[in-house]
Amino acid sequence: MKNLFYLLLCLIAGASCSQADPTKPWDKGAFETQKYRNLFAEMGYKQADIDAKLKSVFDGVFYGPDKVYFEVGDSMAYISDVKNHDVRTEGMSYGLMIAVQFDRQDIFDRLWRWGTKYMQHQDGPLKGYFAWSCATDGTRNSQGPASDGELYYVTALIFASNRWGNDTGINYLAEAQNILNCSMEKDGTNRVMPFINVEHKLITFVPDIHGGRFTDPSYHVPAFYEVWARWANDGRADFWRECAERSREYLHKSIHPVTGLNPDYNNYDGSLLGNNRIIGDAFRFDSWRVPMNIALDYSWACADKEWQQEYGNKIQNFLYSQGIDTFVDQYNVDGTQVKDTLRAGEHKALRHSLGLVATSAAASLMCTHEKSREFVDKLWNAKHEPYEDGYFDAYYDGLLRLFAFMHLSGNYRIIFPEK
């Protein structure tokens, strides 16, 4: 009966029988097939329930009592890290990506207008870049950019161009090209650099003289460069394809060979910073995104499938060994307990954080072992509510949870140009 059930799913999805087995990830990417795996459906969840759950998670982020999306006047909006009372390029660019994935041009355009008005530098040494943090009234908390914001901005804008065209009030493709062109013109003047290190062809942590010396594993989404190579039309297609290859090679070096864990920050050769930066050399908050990012590259490009399958199994095996209901959100990369001197206050506590529950479940898209189903079930049943100590994160946990549901329902997609 089980095999018959999977066969029926295959026929419905138009996929091969191997593609319907939850323990056998697909062996071709969506750039080639334009098909996306709905792992929830493969595991027996009803499509109506999947659709309802995805809508509920989306509505919670954008419209619920714990929303992080706030509209301003008739034409703008921002996404706020509400617990820190600010607006970050991380959240704003995530919001753009979510909006274009859900075909919500209204949300996309509102976020873009707020970001260009308050966050983007229109002139000077930082021209084209976005201030990484602003107060909710638009006052900049910091002038400098964080490279992951630009990474998502560019990709979301290209998708917007592909989906909606460039004649509805915003020339999305021109805006993406402007970010890329402005960045690649930086030469160190006033300490400002490209957000892609041109020597290593890897994304910087921060595009300046200091932050450009190392990187953040969670900023690496090789499939995004594949998007740029196809549709940025900026004359750098070969460069972006090489960036995708270099990024995959870097991830091999960055991830611990036994645990599958990675540090928050490290050198371009994958080695630890080793400068007593306690947070930088451990698997902590930024790091949670890596399983989901690698799963995205697997789903879209499938260009590194053997290693990525091994990686997915490896990190799930480690977390499973810590207790699938109890693994915590911070470890040294070798899997040992983190030092307790990270910082005072709310982040010091170790929690079974929803954000990591979500991203480790998304890794199931590339896993080959049976326990991958358990991770998916745990995400499905996880509630977004305060932890036992009262801490609640509507922003980071909420956004990662939404991305994971998009992944696992087959709704995080490459947006090809409209024909």
Which two tokens mark 248? 């995959």
Catalytic residue (choose from 42, 81, 86, 90): 90
Distances (CA, A) of 25 to 29, 38, 46, 303, 415: 10, 11, 20, 13, 22
Under 8 Å between Cβ of 44 and 5: yes
Q: At what angle do helices 371-381 and 305-321 cross, to 10 degrees?
A: 70
Sign of CA dihedral 140, 146, 148, 154: positive
d(CA 195, CA 148): 9
Annotation marks residue 385 as catalytic: no
Is 137 one of the annotated active-site residues of the chain? no
CB 23 within 8 A of CB 370: yes
> Are the CB atoms for 351 and 391 separated by under 8 Å?
yes
Structure tokens at 159: 């998708």
Which residue of the set 109, 208, 264, 286 is catalytic?
286
CB 311 within 8 A of CB 254: no
Q: Of 209, 296, 286, nearest to 254 (Cα)?
A: 286
| Whether 208 contacts 264, CB under 8 Å | no
Active site residues: 90, 286
